[in-house]
Structure 1
């Protein structure tokens, strides 16, 4: 044991000391045995599905998918619900196109021996239904597509998981006009139960906030300026930003589904589903948030904190999480179809009567709750480039990587980052396992601080503190050594988190 680590153990609070000591014992010893609830879920899923079994099936080559996604008016669509759920497996699909027909193919995302996806279903060629023009609410500048249902997609026989729905409008053989680019719609076939599972969460609330379909998002208006931005954005419109799904969600899915350990059981859902259905998380082994989960409702945060305090591990594989406080409201198509974010308390009509619901930054008034009380490290900078730097090699997820203190990995720190904020609301037993120089747009000297803390229930909250952590694992421009390291650490985290409270197995029992 190094002198520095010996001193750290002697001065650490009990939960921190236990976490580090257990980490030194190694992952294999710490992972023996399962809680009865987790074991029952893992051994006998109610529908017989396991992601390991699914990924042994023959995948579909990426060259059978489009090289890019179309976002023009030539072909576009959206879904009438946030996910295919156990109570509603038939999903309404709304499509508009300049062509006469369209077809849909559904690809389930996973590992599939490195291919990355599997074609699960193809629709018949379907006539295009003439659709009405989109409408805009003049008060909030929210855009709605009051379209007719084009196709009902029955997902009852599909395995649970994350999907691309790929829309294409093939031109007739005699046409000299090329068909429009394929359009992609993300779909989650939600697990019938999330109990006992490590739950992958699609960041659909965050994705919708950035969606400029119709000309406006929560950032800018149709004139490209901030004052004319939308105050509410609707799910009743196509996505114009499929890159957000691919960058922040797909790498997490593919790495998670490369795990072969039969003790790991995965679940699948979305931010919007959790915002409107807090009971979904009851009994989950872990909640895994993708590369950027920025927009959180009051209910979403309370439900995640409640299950964390009851023993559910929480992992943030990105940065700038839990930053904007939002509300969800219904649209004509169903509940939680509107994302509300006034950004300024003075503009929000609920801010005075219900300050806890004011749609400002979580750290701002009238009811400030800095994200760090949940996330550990908290948003620091953007436009960052830096070296991932190990500061605590005994962190359990580094097991098997051979890293030492000061080891660096280029390509993993980029985009936005979280840092140790040193605020009173930050957990008192926070351990920083990576302290990486990360100069960005705001500060020439800044840091990305990977962190972990444990709660009294034994659950752990882990924050990787960079939005590039997941995407780098599949970026050929990132050195192979860095990609392999990040993938190994990610699998270690998911494997441990899926087996129940990390702190109980590694010794940390109190904040």
Structure 2
């Protein structure tokens, strides 16, 4: 049986420009079918090429597989596309998720489109968990972006998700695809980009009102964060329907060829857990707390990675707020508990209770003083908790927002997208945030 796999030279391409794919196969000829991911996969085009074989590389060096160039039609809509590789013709619509023979790519607009939402795909995080070539950023300090995998098409580090076993965590299919499908089914149009685009300073000033991400956007470069902060300071809004966001800082190799992350304190042993350690060079919170941009941090939340967890939802603390309009929720109500909305990782702000028992941020962790905690979920002691500065604040997921020049919203849990199709209150809050901020 013939084998085939591949990767992109870079994870995004502008409509109308040349996409460079690198593909190795034992077959004499192969086919690539491109599908745009939305409410349903949409076939966008295909190419056929002669096959060439190549050996696998290692996790830390460019695999340098045979190159093929495809001119992306200028009328392709911005979106997330999956290239499906095949050595035999099969005209059935294939699964968009697989650990081989799939390549994830993002098509950005050829020119400003007039759309107001820019959706960020976290390719740095996908590559951090990609174990193709025998390693990831959990076993080494440097990985290449030029290898199979990274969202789809490669092996992934992590434990199975008991609430959604159809796809591994840290893949496009697990969080981003359901969110994008829900958006398109509900008429919420957006353009798409990768974190590499934002690292390079592209797209943010093309007329967008809202930058949106979801799921698990854990790895950020300093340049990307600086550009997103400038977007907020110029009046741009941000909605983060995820958690563990901006936890690790990465350095990006020229042209996006690779990532490096220095996680361990000087002199640490191989068994050291960097999340529970201090003095980690690339912990964002130890040098420039992510709270100053996002309002929350994983260090005030926590994670529950293996097996089912105690079902947790958010207790509404400000039921009159506009994000709850149309949900039927009032102060003191809980939403999302039955489906374990809070987890598998979540973020929080240090807080204290005011005179009437409402949580208010202390600001000692960098959270803006005007951050409004609109929903809260104290975490049980059997969760895993990262290191943080001394504080009396409990560990809790804190859903909320604040406004500087732009407004920044956080859902504070990775699993938000999982409930969109089944929980009307989660869906209503999502629609309220996106429509208001865009």
* TM-score (norm. length: structure 1): 0.67
Q: 1:339 is matched with which residue: 246, 256, 259? A: 259
Question: What's the CA shift for 1:127?
Answer: 2.4
User: How far apart, CA to CA, are the structure 1 residues paired with 2:114 and 2:75?
Assistant: 21
Partner of 1:327: 251
Partner of 1:146: 64
User: How far apart, CA to CA, are the structure 1 residues paired with 2:69 and 2:45?
Assistant: 14
Partner of 1:93: 21
User: How far apart, CA to CA, are the structure 1 residues paired with 2:377 and 2:99?
Assistant: 41
Partner of 2:142: 232
Partner of 1:106: 34
User: How far apart, CA to CA, are the structure 2 residues paired with 1:219 and 1:195?
Assistant: 40
* TM-score (norm. length: structure 2): 0.78
For residue 247 of structure 1, give the secondary structure of its aligned residue in structure 2: coil
Gaps of 5+ in 2: 91-97, 157-166, 268-279, 351-361, 386-393
Partner of 2:357: none
Question: What's the CA shift for 1:314?
Answer: 0.7
User: How far apart, CA to CA, are the structure 2 residues paired with 1:265 and 1:181?
Assistant: 29
User: How far apart, CA to CA, are the structure 2 residues paired with 1:201 and 1:216?
Assistant: 25
- Structure (1 or 2) with the greater helix fraction: 1
CA contact (8 A) 2:219 2:247 kept: yes
Structure 1 residues 76, 166: closer, same or farther in 2, change over 3 A? same
For residue 96 of structure 1, give the secondary structure of its aligned residue in structure 2: strand
Aligned CA-pair RMSD:
2.7
For residue 373 of structure 1, give the secondary structure of its aligned residue in structure 2: helix
Q: 1:372 is matched with which residue: 278, 291, 296? A: 291
CA contact (8 A) 1:96 1:130 kept: yes
Listed as ranges, the matches of 1:91-490 within 5 Å are 91-111=19-39, 116-124=40-48, 126-134=49-57, 136=58, 142-170=60-88, 183-191=101-109, 192-193=111-112, 197-220=116-139, 229=140, 231-239=141-149, 240=154, 241=156, 243=168, 244-260=171-187, 266-277=190-201, 280-281=204-205, 283-330=207-254, 335-344=255-264, 346=266, 360-364=282-286, 368-379=287-298, 380-383=301-304, 385=310, 386-408=312-334, 409=336, 410-411=338-339, 412-421=341-350, 422-424=362-364, 425-439=366-380, 440-442=382-384, 446-455=395-404, 457=405, 459-474=406-421, 480=422, 483-490=423-430
Detail structure 1 runs of 4+ shifted over 6 Å in the superposition: none
Alignment: residue pair count:
371
CA contact (8 A) 1:195 1:285 kept: no
Q: Deviation digits for residues 56-79 of structure 1, max 9, x if unmatched?
A: xxxxxxxxxxxxxxxx99321101
Question: What's the CA shift for 1:400?
Answer: 1.1
User: How far apart, CA to CA, are the structure 2 residues paired with 1:129 and 1:296?
Assistant: 35
Partner of 2:8: 79
Q: Relative CO higher for 1 or 2, CA cutoff 8 Å, sep ≥ 6?
A: 1
User: How far apart, CA to CA, are the structure 2 residues paired with 1:127 and 1:359?
Assistant: 46
CA contact (8 A) 1:376 1:453 kept: yes
